[in-house]
Amino acid sequence: MARKGILLSMMFLIIMGLTISGCAKKGVRVDEGAVEKSVRNGVGKDRKFDNALDLAFRDALKKVVVDIIGEESEKANRETIKSYMYGISQSFILSYEVTDKVKSDRDTIVYIRAVINKSKVEETLGTLEINIPVEVVEKDYSDSPYADVINEALDNLTYLVYFEPEKKKIEDEYARLCVNRVNNYLANQGYEYIDLERINEIREEYFKLYEETQGSVSIVQLIAQALNADVYIVVDGIVEDAGSEGDVHFASASIDLKAFESATGRGLGTETGYSGKLGLASGMDAAKRKGVEVAVENAVAVVVDISRDYMLRAFEKGIRYEIVVQGLDNYRMLKIFTDGVRDSGSFRSLKEVSASAGQAKYYVYYMGRKGELIDDIMGNLQGEEGFENFNVLISRGNAVIFGIEE
């Protein structure tokens, strides 16, 4: 009851603040120099402009909330946040600009760029007793003896880009176009990515596993783990027919790119790209495709940079390698193998991913290059009974398969 009273009092004060400050279209007047700000894009769609604008405010505010507490926490606390924050989104807006307004059938789509009072968002989340993770100060690795290893690992990250087949809003055609445009960006930047054709080759196999988990694990994460990607990016969005004027066809697109760490499924960051209203004389499909391309272009660099920043911090625990060992039939031999891994000089930690008859899979965190890890393991196992014909069977990317050679 005490918490409910606090929340009701807070709502009253916020509503009074809105009443006193008026309903200015450019946001609530405050001393902007005294607060921490966050600039985010937002989009809203409704038959009435004012309702669409309010939804755009909510969209921008939600992104700041996710930045602060993370996507999982935002989902877990969404009803509370919706009641006490999203319902009065404009009270957190310092100023905003309508960057575009598009008619789609009877609806209006409003795009905004908003300056949000981040200090007030954090204060409100604290009042609602929603945990705010302690911000980790990024270390400077430039003088570290591991600087070269870490930079090399960052440049060799493997990305997988796909969409949730059963949980997406965007049509398949435009989802695939999003994937290809993100992959084009990765290729142009020299990053390694997994081709869409390779994903489609194994998709059905992992769809069955996804159904067995009753959707509790993302199918994109399952595929990313299977193909040894470090980071996966999920694409989704909305592509709108904005009507025609003579021979010119208009469309707009709002595309979400969400990055995750493959090993844990931890959200790394989200960015939304907007195309605004685009017109082409070559047809509506061409206009929609152009909208998707522009929207992806406006989001992809940001989300890739966010994922790299996160992985840089994660590398403090070591570079993650996927180690599979085959042909060790008993616990004694598996223990000798894992002890050999742990005895490596640059070893940080080991996590068992799966184990079955004749095969085990581990994530090994090691502060060194893959070749150094292989040399350490093989050296530690030299002379051990049963490991006379033990060797590397396959080495690809950050994955190594060890086994008994025939």
Rounded average pLDDT over 183-201: 93
Work out the mean pLDDT of the chain and round it to a whole number: 85
How far is it, in rounded angstroms, from Cα 298 to Cα 271? 9
Report residue 109 CA to chain centroid gap: 25
pLDDT for residue 24 is more than 50: no
The residue among 47, 52, 75 whose CA lies nearest residue 62 is 75
pLDDT for residue 17 is more than 60: no
pLDDT of residue 138: 55
Are 324 and 294 in a shared domain? no
Are 263 and 211 in a shared domain? yes
Q: Which residues contact 335 (CB under 8 A, 6 or more apart)?
A: none
Question: Which pLDDT band holds residue 72 (cuts at 50, 70, 90)?
Answer: confident
Q: Which residue has the higher pLDDT, 6 or 222?
A: 222
Which residues does residue 251 pair with via DSSP β-bridges, in sequence order?
241, 278
Are 330 and 274 in a shared domain? no
Total number of domains constituting the chain: 3
Q: Whats the size of the chain, residue-wise?
A: 406
pLDDT for residue 128 is more than 90: yes
Which residues does residue 354 pair with via DSSP β-bridges, in sequence order?
361
**Domain contains 134:** no
Whether the CB-CB separation of 402 and 387 falls below 8 Å is answered with: no
**Residue after which a domain boundary falls, among 127, 157, 183:** 127
Are 183 and 278 in a shared domain? yes
Alpha helices by DSSP H, listed for 22-161, are 49-69, 71-76, 78-84, 118-127, 147-155
pLDDT for residue 22 is more than 60: no
SS3 143: coil
Task: Give the distance between the most distant pair of CA atoms in the chain.
Answer: 81
Lowest mean pLDDT among 61-70, 242-251, 291-300, 311-320: 311-320
Are 393 and 269 in a shared domain? no
**Domain contains 139:** no
Question: Which pLDDT band holds residue 34 (cuts at 50, 70, 90)?
Answer: low
Cα dihedral: 293, 298, 303, 306 (round 10):
160
Question: Which pLDDT band holds residue 28 (cuts at 50, 70, 90)?
Answer: very low
pLDDT for residue 180 is more than 50: yes
Q: At what angle do helices 172-188 and 284-297 cross, to 10 degrees?
A: 40
Whether the CB-CB separation of 241 and 264 falls below 8 Å is answered with: no
Are 97 and 241 in a shared domain? no
**Domain contains 136:** no
- Residue 351: domain span: 318-404
Q: Which residues contact 394 (CB under 8 A, 6 or more apart)?
A: 400, 401
Q: Which residues contact 154 (CB under 8 A, 6 or more apart)?
A: 308, 311, 312, 315
pLDDT of residue 31: 52
pLDDT for residue 49 is more than 80: yes
**Domain contains 132:** no
pLDDT of residue 23: 39
Are 353 and 281 in a shared domain? no
**Domain contains 399:** yes
Residue 283 phi, psi dihedral angles, 5° rounding: 120, 160
pLDDT for residue 143 is more than 80: no
pLDDT for residue 175 is more than 60: yes
**How far are the Cα atoms of 7, 18, 57, 122 from residue 83, in angstroms, in the given order?**
10, 16, 15, 16
Are 183 and 285 in a shared domain? yes
pLDDT of residue 165: 85
How many beta carbons lie within 10 A of that of residue 172, not counting itself?
10
CATH at 161: 3.40.50.10610
Are 43 and 176 in a shared domain? no
The residue among 32, 54, 43, 45 whose CA lies nearest residue 115 is 32
pLDDT of residue 19: 40
pLDDT for residue 33 is more than 80: no
- Percent of the residues in the chain that have a pLDDT greater than 90, as a whole number: 53
Are 28 and 173 in a shared domain? no
Q: Which residue has the higher pLDDT, 98 or 316?
A: 98
Whether the CB-CB separation of 118 and 37 falls below 8 Å is answered with: yes
pLDDT for residue 26 is more than 60: no
Q: Is the dihedral of CA 82, 85, 88, 89 positive or negative?
A: negative
How far is it, in rounded angstroms, from Cα 367 to Cα 375? 14
Are 114 and 28 in a shared domain? yes
How far is it, in rounded angstroms, from Cα 84 to Cα 9? 11
pLDDT for residue 183 is more than 70: yes
pLDDT for residue 11 is more than 60: no
**Domain contains 241:** yes
**Domain contains 133:** no
**Domain contains 141:** no
Whether the CB-CB separation of 373 and 399 falls below 8 Å is answered with: no
**Residue after which a domain boundary falls, among 245, 280, 312:** 312
Tokens (6 digits) for 4: 């409910």
Report residue 175 CA to chain centroid gap: 16
How far is it, in rounded angstroms, from Cα 39 to Cα 111? 14
**Residue after which a domain boundary falls, among 312, 347, 373:** 312
pLDDT tens track for 201-257: 888 887 776 666 655 678 899 899 888 899 999 999 999 998 888 999 999 999 999
Q: What is the DSSP letter of 221?
A: H
Are 334 and 263 in a shared domain? no
SS3 240: strand
How far is it, in rounded angstroms, from Cα 73 to Cα 304? 22
- Percent of the residues in the chain that have a pLDDT greater than 70, as a whole number: 87
CATH at 120: 3.10.28.20
pLDDT tens track for 75-117: 899 999 999 999 999 999 999 999 888 887 788 889 899 999 9
Terminal Cα-to-Cα distance of the chain (whole angstroms): 70
pTM of the model: 0.73
pLDDT for residue 404 is more than 70: yes
Report residue 51 CA to chain centroid gap: 29
